[in-house]
Amino acid sequence: MGKNRAISIGINKYDFLTPLKYAKRDAELMQEFLRERAGFDKVFFFSDDSPDILGKSTRPSFINLKRVLRTMFEKPFMGDGDNFWFFFSGHGIPHNGYDYLMPCDGDPGDVENTAIPINLVTERLRRCGADNIILILDACRSQGSKSGEGIGNQSAEMARQKGVITFFSCSPNQLSYEIDALQQGAFTKALLDGLGVQGKCATVEQLDHYLSSRVPELIRQHKSEKLWQTPYTIAEPVTKSHLIILPQYATFADIAALKIDAFQAEADKNFELAEQLWIRVLAAASGKDMYAIEAIKRIDRLQREYQASSQDNSVNTSVAKQAESPLSPKSQLVTNTTPIEADVPLKSEGGVDYTKLHDLLANGKWKEADEETRNKMLEAAGRTEDRWLRTQDMYRFPCEDLRTIDQLWVKYSNGCFGFSVQKRIYESLGGSREFDRKIWEAFGDRVGWRVNNTWLYYNDLKFYTLAPGGHLPAGGLSGVSLSVVGGVLWHSSLASRLVECNI
């Protein structure tokens, strides 16, 4: 239904950098896959000897790539439900806090004037108008940086800010290896396997999982067990991880996850996002999902009503302000300028030390942090020896401690995890202090504790930020079903205590 377009760049021959063996072939294979198997409308190919396009050179030089980014993306030419992919295989270099892609004539001695900033690529791609942009960088090669640091840190932050799904071939301090036996880069080989019949990865999340295991496996098989190449993915907000990138592989569960995200966006009055998600549900269902069709119509109506209501409120507020005295107390109430805490105060009503929990979360050690959360909650409730919390323990759990734990999770997951996140989702589904099995199951589906109508065991959870919003904390009970962990505490006690503590 939507438009699908891409740019694929692969550079073997460099004027001032070590040549690569298979970057060109990686880009050729990527172009071939997108055109022939993914059904993309147009794929623009740039490589050492790629043919001209409309009489213009496609040699991946600094001037040519800058020209394409400037002219192609000057005005929007795509819309909601459309996809634009940008693939680059070649050298990347960090310089003065910024990440750069090296064109064939890029000079490592004059990076700022001869290389392409990745933030420029991201910014121009966003201009195309497609609501789904995918950036794939197989670019941390052997000459990435004399310091040993490659690209990734600054690019990852830019991807988060712009909402661009970005796949990195390796971590910033690692190399991206080429494999002679395969005549490909390890990352691109794994990528195409994951997108093909071997992996059948329908969603961003599935492809991320596949790459994280397949790339290290290829390195062990063809290079050395002592070498490490760890790809990673930036997909924020969390709804991006559920996006269906290859509809032909999408299952009912994949489409259901998108529907849940769409309902949540609608409940949050984020109508633009809700509409985008429903359009993607419709595309994944080949235009035959009546729920999606009705939802798009409903959201269009809600948007008009919401805008009309906002305009009425604006007029009423303006009239009220004109009626106020310039010296009245109300007219002096301006924006709150109280500074935001640089870090979460580790407060506790009973002297519990949350330093270890802070450090685990700050370092993204989600599973260890979840287990530490349980330990500290037992300590705060005086139940360390008994090793389990009763409902009455939660009803009187110290508010200061509950707030500290929640704020730590929210801060270091960028709003993805935390008790308050779970509470908001639970209430949006109609949850209250009274237990409702259907609502509790819907909550389990929404936060990823249930898959295909089955509650997961704790050991099957996803301890990374691509997990669904509200997925953690989950209780730290190895071998226990989440229906038990959550059902006992959440509906009967924790939700009530969060309300009482104003969390």
Phi, psi of 467 (to 5 degrees): -65, 160
Handedness of CA 467, 471, 474, 477 (dihedral sign): negative
Higher pLDDT, 364 or 311: 364
- pLDDT tens string 79-130: 988 999 999 999 999 999 899 999 999 999 999 999 999 999 999 999 999 9
Cα(342)–Cα(335) distance, rounded to whole angstroms?
A: 19
Please answer whether residues 169 and 141 qualify as being in contact, where contact means their C-beta atoms are separated by less than 8 angstroms: no
* pLDDT for 246 beyond 60: yes
When pLDDT is cut at 50, 70 and 90, the band that residue 318 belongs to is very low
Overall fold of domain 4-249:
Rossmann fold (3.40.50)
What are the CA-CA distances from residue 254 to residues 202, 204, 237, 281, 308 (Å)? Answer: 8, 11, 17, 9, 35
DSSP-derived pairing of the beta strands 184-185 and 178-179? antiparallel
What are the CA-CA distances from residue 312 to residues 51, 71, 309, 321, 434 (Å)? Answer: 57, 41, 5, 14, 37
| Percent above pLDDT 70 for the chain | 87
Handedness of CA 461, 467, 471, 473 (dihedral sign): positive
Higher pLDDT, 397 or 459: 397
* pLDDT for 314 beyond 70: no
Query: What local confidence, expressed as pLDDT, does residue 5 receive?
Result: 97
Per-residue tokens: 391? 């409902």
Q: What is the DSSP string of 396-411?
A: T--HHHHHHHHHHHHH
Cα(357)–Cα(355) distance, rounded to whole angstroms?
A: 5
When pLDDT is cut at 50, 70 and 90, the band that residue 10 belongs to is very high
When pLDDT is cut at 50, 70 and 90, the band that residue 189 belongs to is very high
Q: What's the distance, Cα to Cα, between the start and end of the chain in Å?
A: 43
Query: What local confidence, expressed as pLDDT, does residue 109 receive?
Result: 94
Query: What local confidence, expressed as pLDDT, does residue 267 receive?
Result: 78
Please answer whether residues 446 and 426 qualify as being in contact, where contact means their C-beta atoms are separated by less than 8 angstroms: no
Higher pLDDT, 315 or 382: 382
Tell me what the mean pLDDT of segment 164-174 comes to.
Answer: 91
Query: What local confidence, expressed as pLDDT, does residue 458 receive?
Result: 81
What are the CA-CA distances from residue 80 to residues 204, 279, 354, 385 (Å)? Answer: 18, 7, 44, 55
- pLDDT tens string 16-47: 999 999 999 999 999 999 999 999 999 999 99
Cα(392)–Cα(338) distance, rounded to whole angstroms?
A: 36
- pLDDT tens string 250-301: 988 888 888 888 888 887 788 888 888 988 888 888 777 787 888 888 888 8
Query: What local confidence, expressed as pLDDT, does residue 348 receive?
Result: 94
Helices (H), 223-270: 252-267
DSSP-derived pairing of the beta strands 165-168 and 132-138? parallel
Tell me what the mean pLDDT of segment 376-392 comes to.
Answer: 83
Query: What local confidence, expressed as pLDDT, does residue 202 receive?
Result: 94
353 three-state secondary structure: coil
* pLDDT for 461 beyond 90: no
Cα(295)–Cα(271) distance, rounded to whole angstroms?
A: 11
| Helix, strand, coil content of the chain in percent (nearest 5) | 45, 10, 40
* pLDDT for 146 beyond 60: no
Query: What local confidence, expressed as pLDDT, does residue 332 receive?
Result: 29
The chain-wide mean pLDDT, for the chain, equals 85
* pLDDT for 339 beyond 70: no
* pLDDT for 495 beyond 50: yes
- pLDDT tens string 468-485: 888 999 887 665 666 666
Query: What local confidence, expressed as pLDDT, does residue 330 receive?
Result: 30
Taking the domains of the chain in order of start, what are their residue ranges?
4-249, 252-307, 355-500
Tell me what the mean pLDDT of segment 46-52 comes to.
Answer: 94
Cα(289)–Cα(318) distance, rounded to whole angstroms?
A: 44
Per-residue tokens: 199? 């992996």
Cα(246)–Cα(236) distance, rounded to whole angstroms?
A: 19
